[in-house]
Amino acid sequence: MKSKENPDNILKKYKQYLKLEKSLSANTVGAYLADVNKLFQFLSDENIHPFDVTLDHLETFSASLRDLGIQPRSQARILSGIRSFYHYLILEDYMESDPSELLESPQLGLHLPEVLTIEEIDTLIGAIDLSTREGQRNRTILETLYSCGLRISELCNLKLSDLYLEEGFIKVEGKGSKQRLVPISPRAIQELRLYFIDRNLSTIKPGYEDYVFISKRGKNISRIMVFHFIKELSDAIGLKKNISPHTFRHSFATHLLEGGANLRAIQCMLGHESIGTTEIYTHMDTHRLRSEIIEHHPRNKHFREKQRPQA
Protein backbone atom coordinates (compact mmCIF):
# COMPACT_ATOMS: atom_id res chain seq x y z
CA MET A 1 0.00 0.00 0.00
CA LYS A 2 1.21 3.48 -0.88
CA SER A 3 1.27 6.17 1.81
CA LYS A 4 -1.20 9.04 1.92
CA GLU A 5 -0.57 11.91 -0.46
CA ASN A 6 -1.82 15.41 -0.79
CA PRO A 7 -5.21 15.30 -2.64
CA ASP A 8 -3.92 17.80 -5.22
CA ASN A 9 -1.02 15.47 -6.11
CA ILE A 10 -3.40 12.53 -6.43
CA LEU A 11 -5.62 14.55 -8.74
CA LYS A 12 -2.66 15.44 -10.98
CA LYS A 13 -1.72 11.76 -11.29
CA TYR A 14 -5.34 10.82 -11.97
CA LYS A 15 -5.46 13.43 -14.74
CA GLN A 16 -2.38 11.89 -16.37
CA TYR A 17 -3.98 8.44 -16.11
CA LEU A 18 -7.15 9.64 -17.87
CA LYS A 19 -5.19 11.38 -20.64
CA LEU A 20 -2.42 8.88 -21.29
CA GLU A 21 -3.76 5.46 -20.31
CA LYS A 22 -7.48 5.94 -20.97
CA SER A 23 -6.88 8.23 -24.00
CA LEU A 24 -9.86 10.39 -23.11
CA SER A 25 -10.51 13.74 -24.78
CA ALA A 26 -9.73 16.99 -22.97
CA ASN A 27 -13.46 17.65 -22.46
CA THR A 28 -14.05 14.22 -20.93
CA VAL A 29 -10.98 14.53 -18.68
CA GLY A 30 -12.27 17.92 -17.52
CA ALA A 31 -15.66 16.42 -16.67
CA TYR A 32 -14.09 13.57 -14.64
CA LEU A 33 -11.89 16.01 -12.70
CA ALA A 34 -14.87 18.27 -11.99
CA ASP A 35 -16.72 15.28 -10.51
CA VAL A 36 -13.81 14.40 -8.22
CA ASN A 37 -13.36 18.05 -7.21
CA LYS A 38 -16.97 18.09 -6.00
CA LEU A 39 -16.19 15.11 -3.79
CA PHE A 40 -12.90 16.66 -2.58
CA GLN A 41 -14.74 19.82 -1.54
CA PHE A 42 -17.25 17.74 0.42
CA LEU A 43 -14.45 15.72 2.08
CA SER A 44 -12.48 18.86 2.91
CA ASP A 45 -15.51 20.32 4.70
CA GLU A 46 -15.79 17.07 6.70
CA ASN A 47 -12.00 16.85 7.28
CA ILE A 48 -11.78 13.42 5.59
CA HIS A 49 -8.86 12.27 3.44
CA PRO A 50 -9.91 10.57 0.13
CA PHE A 51 -8.17 7.35 1.25
CA ASP A 52 -10.29 7.21 4.43
CA VAL A 53 -13.61 7.38 2.59
CA THR A 54 -16.25 4.75 3.34
CA LEU A 55 -19.49 3.84 1.59
CA ASP A 56 -21.37 5.84 4.24
CA HIS A 57 -19.36 8.94 3.35
CA LEU A 58 -20.14 8.49 -0.35
CA GLU A 59 -23.85 7.96 0.34
CA THR A 60 -23.87 11.19 2.35
CA PHE A 61 -22.12 12.92 -0.54
CA SER A 62 -24.74 11.51 -2.92
CA ALA A 63 -27.52 12.83 -0.69
CA SER A 64 -25.86 16.26 -0.67
CA LEU A 65 -26.10 16.33 -4.48
CA ARG A 66 -29.86 15.81 -4.21
CA ASP A 67 -30.08 18.56 -1.58
CA LEU A 68 -28.34 20.94 -3.98
CA GLY A 69 -31.11 20.33 -6.51
CA ILE A 70 -28.89 18.48 -9.00
CA GLN A 71 -31.01 16.42 -11.39
CA PRO A 72 -30.89 12.59 -11.14
CA ARG A 73 -29.18 12.22 -14.52
CA SER A 74 -26.43 14.65 -13.49
CA GLN A 75 -26.14 12.93 -10.10
CA ALA A 76 -25.62 9.60 -11.86
CA ARG A 77 -22.90 11.08 -14.07
CA ILE A 78 -21.06 12.57 -11.08
CA LEU A 79 -21.22 9.28 -9.15
CA SER A 80 -19.91 7.47 -12.23
CA GLY A 81 -16.91 9.81 -12.15
CA ILE A 82 -16.37 9.03 -8.46
CA ARG A 83 -16.38 5.28 -9.19
CA SER A 84 -13.79 5.82 -11.91
CA PHE A 85 -11.57 7.71 -9.47
CA TYR A 86 -11.69 4.98 -6.81
CA HIS A 87 -11.10 2.34 -9.45
CA TYR A 88 -7.90 4.23 -10.29
CA LEU A 89 -6.86 4.32 -6.61
CA ILE A 90 -7.26 0.53 -6.41
CA LEU A 91 -5.25 0.03 -9.61
CA GLU A 92 -2.42 2.20 -8.27
CA ASP A 93 -2.40 0.40 -4.90
CA TYR A 94 -3.44 3.46 -2.90
CA MET A 95 -6.36 1.53 -1.35
CA GLU A 96 -7.15 -2.12 -0.67
CA SER A 97 -10.93 -1.97 -1.04
CA ASP A 98 -13.21 0.18 -3.20
CA PRO A 99 -15.72 2.19 -1.11
CA SER A 100 -17.71 3.07 -4.25
CA GLU A 101 -18.34 -0.55 -5.26
CA LEU A 102 -21.82 -0.69 -3.66
CA LEU A 103 -22.66 2.98 -4.25
CA GLU A 104 -26.04 3.17 -5.97
CA SER A 105 -26.99 5.75 -8.57
CA PRO A 106 -30.43 7.41 -8.58
CA GLN A 107 -33.11 5.67 -10.60
CA LEU A 108 -33.56 7.20 -14.03
CA GLY A 109 -36.72 7.04 -16.07
CA LEU A 110 -36.42 6.50 -19.82
CA HIS A 111 -35.37 9.84 -21.26
CA LEU A 112 -36.36 10.31 -24.87
CA PRO A 113 -34.29 13.10 -26.40
CA GLU A 114 -35.92 15.84 -28.45
CA VAL A 115 -36.13 15.07 -32.18
CA LEU A 116 -36.78 17.43 -35.08
CA THR A 117 -38.94 16.59 -38.05
CA ILE A 118 -37.46 16.95 -41.53
CA GLU A 119 -39.71 19.99 -42.04
CA GLU A 120 -38.39 21.63 -38.86
CA ILE A 121 -34.79 21.02 -39.94
CA ASP A 122 -35.52 22.53 -43.36
CA THR A 123 -37.16 25.54 -41.68
CA LEU A 124 -34.18 26.09 -39.38
CA ILE A 125 -31.70 25.87 -42.25
CA GLY A 126 -33.91 28.09 -44.41
CA ALA A 127 -33.93 30.78 -41.69
CA ILE A 128 -30.16 31.32 -41.96
CA ASP A 129 -29.30 34.70 -43.49
CA LEU A 130 -26.90 33.87 -46.33
CA SER A 131 -26.07 37.55 -46.85
CA THR A 132 -24.00 37.56 -43.64
CA ARG A 133 -20.36 36.57 -43.50
CA GLU A 134 -21.14 33.46 -41.43
CA GLY A 135 -24.36 32.51 -43.24
CA GLN A 136 -23.05 29.81 -45.59
CA ARG A 137 -20.75 28.44 -42.88
CA ASN A 138 -23.66 28.05 -40.45
CA ARG A 139 -25.85 26.48 -43.10
CA THR A 140 -23.07 23.97 -43.84
CA ILE A 141 -22.64 23.22 -40.13
CA LEU A 142 -26.32 22.24 -39.74
CA GLU A 143 -26.30 20.17 -42.93
CA THR A 144 -23.16 18.35 -41.77
CA LEU A 145 -24.50 17.74 -38.25
CA TYR A 146 -27.71 16.27 -39.63
CA SER A 147 -26.23 14.48 -42.64
CA CYS A 148 -23.52 12.70 -40.64
CA GLY A 149 -24.95 12.50 -37.11
CA LEU A 150 -21.83 14.06 -35.60
CA ARG A 151 -21.18 14.98 -31.99
CA ILE A 152 -20.53 18.70 -31.61
CA SER A 153 -16.88 18.06 -30.60
CA GLU A 154 -16.42 15.94 -33.75
CA LEU A 155 -17.77 18.76 -35.91
CA CYS A 156 -15.59 21.45 -34.29
CA ASN A 157 -12.46 19.32 -34.78
CA LEU A 158 -13.23 18.16 -38.33
CA LYS A 159 -10.23 18.62 -40.64
CA LEU A 160 -9.95 19.21 -44.38
CA SER A 161 -7.68 16.17 -44.49
CA ASP A 162 -10.59 14.11 -43.09
CA LEU A 163 -12.84 14.87 -46.07
CA TYR A 164 -13.16 12.37 -48.91
CA LEU A 165 -15.89 14.18 -50.82
CA GLU A 166 -15.32 12.44 -54.14
CA GLU A 167 -15.92 9.11 -52.39
CA GLY A 168 -18.79 10.52 -50.29
CA PHE A 169 -17.22 9.91 -46.87
CA ILE A 170 -15.66 11.84 -44.01
CA LYS A 171 -13.29 10.49 -41.35
CA VAL A 172 -14.39 11.31 -37.80
CA GLU A 173 -12.41 11.06 -34.58
CA GLY A 174 -14.83 10.24 -31.78
CA LYS A 175 -14.60 9.42 -28.09
CA GLY A 176 -11.35 7.84 -26.98
CA SER A 177 -9.70 9.01 -30.23
CA LYS A 178 -11.49 6.21 -32.09
CA GLN A 179 -11.84 6.89 -35.80
CA ARG A 180 -14.71 5.93 -38.09
CA LEU A 181 -15.79 6.60 -41.68
CA VAL A 182 -19.22 8.19 -42.07
CA PRO A 183 -21.13 8.70 -45.34
CA ILE A 184 -21.94 12.32 -46.17
CA SER A 185 -24.96 13.30 -48.24
CA PRO A 186 -24.67 14.97 -51.68
CA ARG A 187 -26.55 17.98 -50.27
CA ALA A 188 -24.04 18.43 -47.44
CA ILE A 189 -21.18 18.07 -49.94
CA GLN A 190 -22.73 20.80 -52.07
CA GLU A 191 -23.02 23.11 -49.04
CA LEU A 192 -19.38 22.40 -48.12
CA ARG A 193 -18.19 23.35 -51.60
CA LEU A 194 -20.15 26.62 -51.41
CA TYR A 195 -18.70 27.32 -47.95
CA PHE A 196 -15.15 26.74 -49.20
CA ILE A 197 -15.55 29.79 -51.47
CA ASP A 198 -16.04 31.98 -48.36
CA ARG A 199 -13.47 30.04 -46.33
CA ASN A 200 -10.77 30.70 -48.93
CA LEU A 201 -11.25 34.43 -48.31
CA SER A 202 -10.81 34.08 -44.53
CA THR A 203 -7.68 34.94 -42.58
CA ILE A 204 -6.76 31.73 -40.76
CA LYS A 205 -4.30 31.70 -37.87
CA PRO A 206 -1.20 29.50 -38.12
CA GLY A 207 -1.90 26.00 -36.86
CA TYR A 208 -5.59 26.10 -37.78
CA GLU A 209 -5.30 25.82 -41.58
CA ASP A 210 -6.59 22.22 -41.65
CA TYR A 211 -9.79 22.82 -39.67
CA VAL A 212 -12.95 22.86 -41.79
CA PHE A 213 -15.08 25.33 -39.84
CA ILE A 214 -13.33 28.61 -39.03
CA SER A 215 -14.49 31.37 -36.68
CA LYS A 216 -14.15 35.13 -37.15
CA ARG A 217 -10.95 34.96 -35.11
CA GLY A 218 -9.34 32.57 -37.58
CA LYS A 219 -9.49 29.50 -35.32
CA ASN A 220 -11.73 26.44 -35.43
CA ILE A 221 -15.26 27.13 -34.21
CA SER A 222 -16.16 26.44 -30.60
CA ARG A 223 -19.04 24.38 -29.23
CA ILE A 224 -20.49 27.46 -27.50
CA MET A 225 -20.60 29.31 -30.83
CA VAL A 226 -22.65 26.54 -32.45
CA PHE A 227 -24.99 26.28 -29.42
CA HIS A 228 -25.54 30.03 -29.61
CA PHE A 229 -26.49 30.34 -33.26
CA ILE A 230 -28.76 27.27 -33.11
CA LYS A 231 -30.59 28.85 -30.14
CA GLU A 232 -30.95 32.11 -32.09
CA LEU A 233 -32.34 30.26 -35.12
CA SER A 234 -34.77 28.31 -32.95
CA ASP A 235 -36.07 31.53 -31.38
CA ALA A 236 -36.30 33.22 -34.77
CA ILE A 237 -38.67 30.59 -36.21
CA GLY A 238 -40.65 30.23 -32.95
CA LEU A 239 -39.68 26.59 -32.42
CA LYS A 240 -41.17 25.30 -29.16
CA LYS A 241 -38.71 22.43 -28.75
CA ASN A 242 -35.61 22.79 -26.58
CA ILE A 243 -32.84 21.96 -29.05
CA SER A 244 -29.04 21.89 -29.18
CA PRO A 245 -26.41 20.64 -31.67
CA HIS A 246 -26.96 17.12 -30.27
CA THR A 247 -30.60 17.29 -31.40
CA PHE A 248 -29.43 16.97 -35.01
CA ARG A 249 -27.56 13.78 -34.09
CA HIS A 250 -30.68 12.34 -32.45
CA SER A 251 -32.77 13.34 -35.46
CA PHE A 252 -30.26 11.73 -37.85
CA ALA A 253 -30.47 8.39 -36.00
CA THR A 254 -34.25 8.46 -35.58
CA HIS A 255 -34.91 9.27 -39.23
CA LEU A 256 -32.55 6.48 -40.32
CA LEU A 257 -34.38 3.99 -38.11
CA GLU A 258 -37.76 5.15 -39.39
CA GLY A 259 -36.45 4.72 -42.92
CA GLY A 260 -35.58 1.07 -42.24
CA ALA A 261 -31.85 1.31 -41.49
CA ASN A 262 -30.25 -1.55 -39.56
CA LEU A 263 -29.56 -0.76 -35.90
CA ARG A 264 -25.98 -2.07 -36.21
CA ALA A 265 -25.35 0.26 -39.14
CA ILE A 266 -26.67 3.21 -37.11
CA GLN A 267 -24.40 2.15 -34.22
CA CYS A 268 -21.36 2.23 -36.55
CA MET A 269 -22.27 5.62 -37.99
CA LEU A 270 -22.83 7.17 -34.56
CA GLY A 271 -19.65 5.64 -33.16
CA HIS A 272 -21.41 4.01 -30.19
CA GLU A 273 -19.22 1.46 -28.43
CA SER A 274 -22.29 -0.46 -27.19
CA ILE A 275 -25.41 -1.37 -29.16
CA GLY A 276 -27.30 -0.67 -25.93
CA THR A 277 -26.63 3.06 -26.36
CA THR A 278 -28.09 2.97 -29.86
CA GLU A 279 -31.16 1.04 -28.73
CA ILE A 280 -32.70 4.17 -27.21
CA TYR A 281 -33.74 5.03 -30.76
CA THR A 282 -35.91 1.90 -30.90
CA HIS A 283 -37.70 3.22 -27.81
CA MET A 284 -38.10 6.59 -29.52
CA ASP A 285 -39.48 4.92 -32.63
CA THR A 286 -42.00 2.95 -30.54
CA HIS A 287 -42.95 6.07 -28.62
CA ARG A 288 -43.51 8.01 -31.84
CA LEU A 289 -45.41 5.09 -33.39
CA ARG A 290 -47.80 5.06 -30.45
CA SER A 291 -48.35 8.82 -30.77
CA GLU A 292 -49.12 8.40 -34.47
CA ILE A 293 -51.60 5.60 -33.75
CA ILE A 294 -53.32 7.59 -30.99
CA GLU A 295 -53.56 10.56 -33.33
CA HIS A 296 -54.67 8.88 -36.55
CA HIS A 297 -56.30 5.51 -35.84
CA PRO A 298 -60.03 5.74 -36.73
CA ARG A 299 -61.10 4.14 -33.43
CA ASN A 300 -59.22 6.78 -31.47
CA LYS A 301 -60.52 9.61 -33.65
CA HIS A 302 -64.08 8.35 -33.18
CA PHE A 303 -63.55 8.10 -29.39
CA ARG A 304 -62.19 11.66 -29.16
CA GLU A 305 -65.14 13.01 -31.10
CA LYS A 306 -67.56 11.28 -28.69
CA GLN A 307 -65.70 12.85 -25.75
CA ARG A 308 -66.08 16.40 -27.05
CA PRO A 309 -68.71 18.42 -25.15
CA GLN A 310 -71.86 19.01 -27.15
CA ALA A 311 -72.57 22.63 -28.14
Known catalytic residues? Answer: 151, 175, 246, 249, 272, 281
Return the H-helix or E-strand segment holding 230.
helix 223-236
Closest C-alpha among 200, 3, 62, 226 to residue 128: 226
Greatest Cα pair distance, the chain, in angstroms, is 81
* Amino acid type, 20: L
d(CA 229, CA 233): 6
Torsion of CA 264, 269, 275, 277, to 10 degrees: -140
Residues 6+ apart with CB under 8 A from 280: 110, 112, 113
3-class secondary structure, 200: coil
Instruction: Give the total residue count for the chain.
Output: 311
In eight-state DSSP terms, residue 157 is T
CA distances from 160 to 6, 147, 237, 287, 300 (A): 45, 17, 32, 39, 52
